[in-house]
Structure 1
Amino acid sequence: MEVVNSVLEKIRSFFLKPLPEFFFPISCILFAYVLIMNSWVTEDAYISFKTVENFLNGFGLRWNTYERVQAYTHPLWLFGLIFLSFWTIPVYYSSLILSWICVGLTACLLVARFGKKEGNLFHGSWIFLILLTSRAFVDFSSSGLENPLSFLLIVLFLGKAFDLEKKADFRDIFLFFFYLSLSYLNRQDTVLLGLPFLLYLYKPLKENKSWGRFIGAAILGLLPVVLWSAFSLVYYGYLFPNTAYAKLNTDLTVSHLWPYGIEYLKNSFRWDIFTSLTISSVILFLPYFLWKKKFLQAALSIGVGLYTLYVCSIGGDFMAGRFFALPFVACIFLFSGFSGAYIPRVSVLFFVALFLLNQNSYLYITKDYTRLRNDGEIQDEKGAYFRSTNLLRSINFKEFPTHGWADVGRNYKKTPKNPDKACSTINVGFYGYFAGENRKIIDSNALTDPLLSKLKSVSNWRVGHFTRNLPLGYLESVTSGQNLIQDPNLKVYYDRLKLLTESEDLFTKERFMEILRENLGGNRNLIQNSGPRTPWVGIPEDFRCGLGVGY
């Protein structure tokens, strides 16, 4: 018995010891290596890239240059890309540089938070390693999407939210709402992680009775959202991105989408067990946090739970892990505030078991990595596109990415055929970017199309790809510039829509009245989706973009 107790005591003392300081430079180098070696860009990111190029070329914040449509979900990320690309950096590399900056700062803030608590910065080296153990985090630490900036903003927001327990003066309240605003501008649904903290604000406010200063600080902090919303309403005619209408205005109910959301959750457990267990543990800790009256930790637990429920309610996504990377970072923020006992060395063991000893981990990735995996509607997006878009291969090719859809776009731009004729496809990323600014392209998935985003999706939809059937005469209308839509009600609606998206003068009384009518639902009678959902009939052969059969 004494031998057993002695062994247990040695094990306990081993886990209670802080990590050796030489771990810190090793973990930093390993983190940077994995981050760079796994840098890639998804096809969907090129939808935003085209808006960046059009803006820098003087066409405004547009996707198709003939109409104003917000074909991006993330204004803040987009402006970051515009800023870097302005200095003649190709937008592909701008997205990677911005991703590295955001992810690097995120990791450093987490390490500094733990190091400050322990009194030694070097004790936080485990955070670099534990982040790498999450497949979702590594996958979307680049990709060209807005995730890296969301990581940074949620850490900044949570840091300020947890500081309110110590003090809640004007500056602190302002920064609380300011970071929340920036999170909203980067991706609107991320604010779900922060909403529970609004309830906690009642405590310091009640103690200080500073309601006037609170309201002033809150208004000032929320000003970026107000200003952007006003701009969006005037410029685009809508408060929200067209992508939101395309994915939420499908006439599908939660009962349709919830089963797909559950499958998305199950897929995370199958393909990314550490991320899933980390998120689950924080949600399950909620009763403990409430019992111990740790209300800030409870607010974070509720936020992670709300966000997870939201992801399930919208059907998840077709990109495996994309929507679980952000709550994972929020969970690591929570753990970084705990006492150093056990957590660092247990985290290193997880890293060794799930990453270092796993031959399929991203530590051993090469530039020729391909992993075509599908789990029902869910795809390993990185495995599908990495070989065509990763950083290391970009050095060896003059024309990059090396993807067939990009080549079709390049070929069209070199030798355009029927340049005034519109075409339609369901894969607008690579093709839309490389075909050039003059090509009129209709996105059958409605992400970039203001008319189709208001119509119901087809019966054989896929999560994240809510395809619409093209109204008769619509392609001819875009080609000719005249309204040739055959449905009489839809024809009237299209005329009104063009006033919002194509009129040269933004500041006419007629246009402002139409913005008001559209956003208050005055046009719904013209686009009633009362008929049964029908299968996709495809794109007329004469109007296909030429990406291949079915595209």
Structure 2
Amino acid sequence: MSSSVQLRPLPPAEPARPGRRRRTERLLTAVLVAAVLIAGWARRWTADDAFITFRVVANVLGGAGPVFNAGERVEVATSPLWLAVLTVAEAVVPGDAVAWSSVLLGLALTAAGVGLATRAGHRLLARTPARLAVPLGMVVFAALPPVWDFTTSGLETGLAFGWLGACWWGLVRWAGTGARTRTGAGAPSVLGQRWLLVLLGTGPLVRPDLAVVGVVLLGWLVLSGAGRWWQRVAALAVAGALPVAVEVLRAGYYGLLVPNTAVAKESGRALWGRGAGYLGDLVGPHLLWLPLLVGAGLVAVLARGVVLRRREVSLLLAAVLAAVAHALYVVRVGGDFMHGRLLLPSLFLLLCPVAVVPLTRDRLRAVTALLAVGALWALASVAVLRPGYDGGQVSGTGIADERGHYVRQAGTGHPVTLADHGGTGVLAYTDRVLALAGTDVVVAQPPPPVTVDTPLRRLAPSSGGLVFSVGNAGFYGVAVGTGVRVVDVYGLTDPVAAHLEAPPPGRPGHEKRLPAAWLLARYGSPELARVSGPGLPDAADVAAARVALTCGAAAELVEATSAPLSWTRFVDNVLGAPARTSLRIPTDPQQAEAALC
């Protein structure tokens, strides 16, 4: 009996295909990759959140370390690997080119992911007799407008697509290898391709949520490969060595088990209802259920015509399981405020099993009909399928057309650099802020819209130096330079703000807001704890917050992030990271003082 799904001997691993078919398939792949590049380039832009990472890159190259504010160890880059890639790119191409590097690398990595997934699909179908293999799944992916937006954006989404494509190609290649036997090919060694194990293990370094995908696919590889129990354990050790090392460094350096952004956004909460709305916000307007039904129909029609090993079939099932598990995780945490962004990796992986579809001779009509439906959907997606708030608006649930929002604010179709985003009034306002350099004052970003004529908002005297409180930490953080302390009111860059108790669920990522009493307790002049004035918080609240920060777990949190990093501090940070990660401080300063002191 063969190890294939069908009960007949397997053809050779890579049978020679007719030259015309091979050339046609290569041409289709090239056209698809070119379409991804063209669509992404036509929608090139960068988000405010990307500039948060750009400021960290500047601090790394400036010698301050991977931090947002020099002297305070707070992890604000959600993707350690993307931070590393951009830092190397900026070191190689200096001159403040990081914004353009992020755009070009995002484009290249997305195109590579699509190309690798398509190549993997052709490899899976190498034994299946067919007139042609059509890249349906990747066409569906490439036809989706949110993909065009987040191919660039300066965020790590393009890296996620590239990582998923590389993992899928590597797993398909691994599944097709193995010692030849009379019944086909035996299982390949679980330790046969260590690079693939390392690659799968880097999932959480691309994005923390991609650990879900990495665990599922790694589990499949370890269970499917040939080897003794100790070889399976060794395979897990190879895959886990790098992420475990990074986790230890994170805990020792930053004092937390997760990035500070995860604490600020309360990523551990279960918000199924809000997450279901986020899923519906992607599936509904784009009618994604239709191409997914087409894909399921093709699987049903071709189930008996495609020649696969059982191991390859189980890989397809593992990919679907990993995609669904990742989507469920995103739904559980309540989704995001950017339309579709966090679900796009789930969709990419879900489409990988049907990345390429064969036109088999015996089921040609049924397959052609389903492909025609998929093609009609793709045309509609490119032309008209959009969310109701397309064009820079925000939905009633707080989900935004993020690219459209910044394009409209900037007044240009392709805002990439900080100068391109000048229409937001960032540069004019930060010029006023920088004019105060050398003075002891706390200033604030005014509520939008900010124009070139917006007056400066002085809050109060500071305890030392210029302190800038902002809501757009990326733009303003880069604009004022690394020499100015920038405090994000949403807690992304501030350890105390991130650890405040969360209010009831609201707009994702924008729920916590640092009260003025806490801001001035940390950075304001000491006399603010004794006197009040117009526009200032109650002096009793400032005093209570100031005392709370010197007590118990809050004091230890400040110490963990700002004390000089010695070996003793590193070990203390590691040992205290679990409790510190779960620490939440009452938002009311007087309640915080009572609870902590």
- The TM tier, using the shorter chain, reads 0.7 to 0.9
- Which deviates more from structure 2 when the two are superposed, residues 284-293 or residues 89-98? 284-293
* Counterpart check, 1:268 vs 2:282: yes
Amino acid at match of 2:342: F
TM-score w.r.t. length of structure 1? 0.78
Instruction: Report the Cα offset of residue 413 of structure 1.
Output: 5.8
- Which deviates more from structure 2 when the two are superposed, residues 237-246 or residues 372-381? 372-381
Instruction: Specify whether residues 387 and 507 from structure 1 end up closer, same or farther in structure 2 by C-alpha distance, changes over 3 A only.
Output: same
Partner of 2:211: 191
Partner of 1:545: none
Amino acid at match of 2:164: I
* Cα distance in structure 1, aligned partners of 2:412 and 2:108: 16
* Counterpart check, 1:35 vs 2:49: no
> Is this contact kept in 1: 2:90–2:98, CA < 8 A?
yes
Instruction: Specify whether residues 215 and 472 from structure 1 end up closer, same or farther in structure 2 by C-alpha distance, changes over 3 A only.
Output: same
2:87 aligned residue (79, 82, 87): 82
* Cα distance in structure 1, aligned partners of 2:58 and 2:490: 22
Calculate percent identity across the aligned residue pairs. 21
* Counterpart check, 1:426 vs 2:471: yes
Instruction: Report the Cα offset of residue 150 of structure 1.
Output: 0.8
Partner of 2:111: 104
* Cα distance in structure 2, aligned partners of 1:490 and 1:121: 71
Instruction: Report the Cα offset of residue 221 of structure 1.
Output: 2.6
* Cα distance in structure 2, aligned partners of 1:140 and 1:530: 35
* Cα distance in structure 2, aligned partners of 1:36 and 1:163: 31
SS in 2 for 1:248: coil
Instruction: Report the Cα offset of residue 348 of structure 1.
Output: 6.7
* Cα distance in structure 2, aligned partners of 1:324 and 1:72: 19
> Is this contact kept in 1: 2:46–2:152, CA < 8 A?
yes
> Is this contact kept in 1: 2:247–2:257, CA < 8 A?
yes
Q: Which of these two proteins has the greater Rg computed from alpha carbons?
A: 2
Instruction: Specify whether residues 282 and 20 from structure 1 end up closer, same or farther in structure 2 by C-alpha distance, changes over 3 A only.
Output: closer
> Is this contact kept in 1: 2:53–2:83, CA < 8 A?
yes
Instruction: Specify whether residues 344 and 502 from structure 1 end up closer, same or farther in structure 2 by C-alpha distance, changes over 3 A only.
Output: farther
Aligned length: 500
2:232 aligned residue (214, 230, 254): 214
Instruction: Report the Cα offset of residue 243 of structure 1.
Output: 0.8
Amino acid at match of 1:140: F
- Which deviates more from structure 2 when the two are superposed, residues 493-502 or residues 306-315? 493-502
* Counterpart check, 1:145 vs 2:145: no
Deviations along 1:225-254, whole A, 9 cap, x unmatched?
12212222222222321111112268xx52
* Counterpart check, 1:57 vs 2:62: yes
Return structure 1 stretches of 4+ with deviation > 6 angstroms.
Answer: 280-293, 342-345, 389-392, 481-484
Q: Which residues of 2 match residues 356-367 of structure 1 at below 5 A?
A: 359-360=383-384
1:507 aligned residue (566, 570, 576): 566
SS in 1 for 2:48: coil
List gaps (5 residues or longer) in structure 2. 1-20, 179-187, 441-464, 530-541, 592-597
> Is this contact kept in 1: 2:119–2:169, CA < 8 A?
no
* Counterpart check, 1:94 vs 2:101: yes
Partner of 2:550: 491
Amino acid at match of 1:156: A
* Cα distance in structure 1, aligned partners of 2:476 and 2:418: 17
* Cα distance in structure 2, aligned partners of 1:290 and 1:116: 17
* Cα distance in structure 1, aligned partners of 2:254 and 2:574: 12
* Counterpart check, 1:224 vs 2:242: yes
Amino acid at match of 2:106: S
Partner of 2:333: 314
SS in 2 for 1:401: helix
* Cα distance in structure 1, aligned partners of 2:526 and 2:502: 25
* Cα distance in structure 1, aligned partners of 2:203 and 2:65: 24
* Counterpart check, 1:457 vs 2:475: no
Q: Which residues of 2 match residues 109-120 of structure 1 at below 5 A?
A: 109-117=116-124
* Cα distance in structure 2, aligned partners of 1:224 and 1:412: 45
TM-score w.r.t. length of structure 2? 0.73
Instruction: Report the Cα offset of residue 340 of structure 1.
Output: 4.2
* Cα distance in structure 2, aligned partners of 1:405 and 1:121: 58
* Cα distance in structure 2, aligned partners of 1:277 and 1:388: 34
Q: Which residues of 2 match residues 19-418 of structure 1 at below 5 A?
A: 26-86=31-91, 87-88=93-94, 90-117=97-124, 123=133, 129-166=139-176, 167=178, 168-169=188-189, 171-172=191-192, 174-201=194-221, 203-205=223-225, 208-248=226-266, 253-254=269-270, 257-274=271-288, 276-278=289-291, 294-336=313-355, 338-341=357-360, 347=371, 350-351=374-375, 353-355=377-379, 359-360=383-384, 370-387=391-408, 393=414, 399-404=419-424, 406-408=426-428, 410-412=430-432, 414-416=434-436, 418=439
Amino acid at match of 1:234: G
Partner of 2:17: none
Amino acid at match of 2:275: G
- Which deviates more from structure 2 when the two are superposed, residues 119-128 or residues 401-410? 119-128
> Is this contact kept in 2: 1:260–1:312, CA < 8 A?
yes
* Cα distance in structure 2, aligned partners of 1:324 and 1:449: 27
> Is this contact kept in 1: 2:257–2:578, CA < 8 A?
no
Partner of 2:456: none
Amino acid at match of 1:467: K
* Cα distance in structure 2, aligned partners of 1:327 and 1:415: 47
* Cα distance in structure 1, aligned partners of 2:404 and 2:355: 31
Partner of 2:16: none
Amino acid at match of 1:437: T
Amino acid at match of 1:231: L
Instruction: Specify whether residues 286 and 196 from structure 1 end up closer, same or farther in structure 2 by C-alpha distance, changes over 3 A only.
Output: farther
Instruction: Specify whether residues 306 and 83 from structure 1 end up closer, same or farther in structure 2 by C-alpha distance, changes over 3 A only.
Output: same
SS in 2 for 1:320: coil
Instruction: Specify whether residues 52 and 355 from structure 1 end up closer, same or farther in structure 2 by C-alpha distance, changes over 3 A only.
Output: farther
> Is this contact kept in 1: 2:261–2:491, CA < 8 A?
yes
Instruction: Report the Cα offset of residue 115 of structure 1.
Output: 3.5
Instruction: Report the Cα offset of residue 405 of structure 1.
Output: 5.1
2:487 aligned residue (422, 442, 447): 442
List gaps (5 residues or longer) in structure 1. 1-16, 363-368, 535-551
> Is this contact kept in 1: 2:151–2:158, CA < 8 A?
yes
SS in 1 for 2:272: helix
Instruction: Specify whether residues 117 and 472 from structure 1 end up closer, same or farther in structure 2 by C-alpha distance, changes over 3 A only.
Output: closer
* Cα distance in structure 2, aligned partners of 1:51 and 1:36: 25
Deviations along 1:457-477, whole A, 9 cap, x unmatched?
234742121213437354342
> Is this contact kept in 2: 1:31–1:128, CA < 8 A?
no
> Is this contact kept in 1: 2:191–2:231, CA < 8 A?
no
Amino acid at match of 2:157: N
Instruction: Report the Cα offset of residue 286 of structure 1.
Output: 11
SS in 2 for 1:441: strand
Instruction: Report the Cα offset of residue 334 of structure 1.
Output: 1.1
SS in 1 for 2:358: coil
* Counterpart check, 1:518 vs 2:538: no
